[in-house]
Amino acid sequence: MSRIECVIFDWAGTTVDFGSLSPVSAFQEAFRTFGVDVTEDETRAPMGMLKIDHIRTMLAMPEVANRWRSVRGANPTEADAQAVYERFEPALMAVLDRHCDPKPGLLECVAELRALGIKIGSTTGFTRAMMDVVEPAARAAGYAPDAVMTAEDTGGYGRPWPFMIFNNMKVLGVKSVTRVLKAGDTVSDIEEALAAGVIPVGVVEGSSVMGLSRREWDALDEEEREACREKTRAVFARAGARYVVNNLAELPALVRAIEVR
């Protein structure tokens, strides 16, 4: 038995939706409806947060705020954040069911972890309504974690607050944060894990940090892939990840290695 009792996964970009594509397009479309263009880098920077917090964070970025002010004639406000969110949610819901496929190696990874007696939890920046689309699709494809927590389960406190992780531990009966590993594909995932005191692990390939679709990733040669991996690993390292794995296939070996140490 590993000393790790629970692995808590993120969803989009970590376990499903290679590249975390669905939120990016929806955020950009929502901003465009107000005449403001945002870049992919700006859109991905807060990825993993509760979606309204994500929009607030984007509107607080100096360059985005300047563009907003230039187009709209005033600095962005909380009312503006809510207005963008009202456009974002239907844009995301319109495409969400197309982005629920499990990432390569997920099912094998989870099966191996469960064979070690490890419980599988999850946290997300999606709302419960969004998860009502994602969860059934993932379950039909073979992935069903033992617990799924959204910010609605914690009074609106999403990442980087630690409470979704704590709720997983409560529901799954895990007594110590030292026995929990949190795997995610964004800086917000790492910050959430650090806030909770659990072991933070970055997942490189297919991550929002890397920002490549499956088609773009498959088109790279090995030298190009390694350059992308190195760049992504560095982001996770700066964020405070204790470990970084290239893909989910490497995660069970990491869990066993932690037991050895």
Is-contact 220 176, C-beta < 8 A? no
- From-to residues of CATH 1.10.150.240 in the chain: 22-97
Q: How confident is the model at residue 242 (pLDDT cuts 50, 70, 90)?
A: very high
Check if 170 is active-site. Answer: no
Q: Which residue has the tokens 């992308």?
A: 228
pLDDT at residue 111 above 90?
Answer: yes
The confidence score (pLDDT) of residue 201 equals 98
Catalytic site residue from 17, 37, 51, 101: 51
DSSP 101: P
Check if 153 is active-site. Answer: no
Q: What is the pLDDT of residues 135-190, one digit of tens each?
A: 999 999 999 999 999 999 999 999 999 999 999 999 999 999 999 999 999 999 99
The confidence score (pLDDT) of residue 2 equals 54
Distance CA 261, CA 14 (A): 26
**Greatest CA span in the chain, whole angstroms?**
61
Q: How confident is the model at residue 260 (pLDDT cuts 50, 70, 90)?
A: low
The confidence score (pLDDT) of residue 86 equals 96
Which residue in 126, 180, 119, 133 sits closest to 149, CA to CA?
A: 126
* Class of the CATH-defined domain 22-97: mainly alpha
Which parts of 127-251 are beta strand (E)?
Answer: 180-184, 199-203, 243-245
Catalytic site residue from 10, 53, 80, 189: 10
Mean residue pLDDT across the chain: 95
The confidence score (pLDDT) of residue 1 equals 46
Token output for 205: 């390939």
The confidence score (pLDDT) of residue 22 equals 87
pLDDT at residue 195 above 80?
Answer: yes
- From-to residues of CATH 3.40.50.1000 in the chain: 6-21+100-260
What mean pLDDT do residues 10-16 have? 97
Residue 3 CB contacts under 8 Å (≥ 6 apart), including other chains: 178, 179, 258, 259
What mean pLDDT do residues 35-51 have? 93
What mean pLDDT do residues 109-119 have? 97
Residues annotated as binding site for Mg(2+)?
A: 10, 12, 185
CATH 3.40.50.720 for domain 6-21+100-260, yes or no, is no
Distance CA 45, CA 54 (A): 9
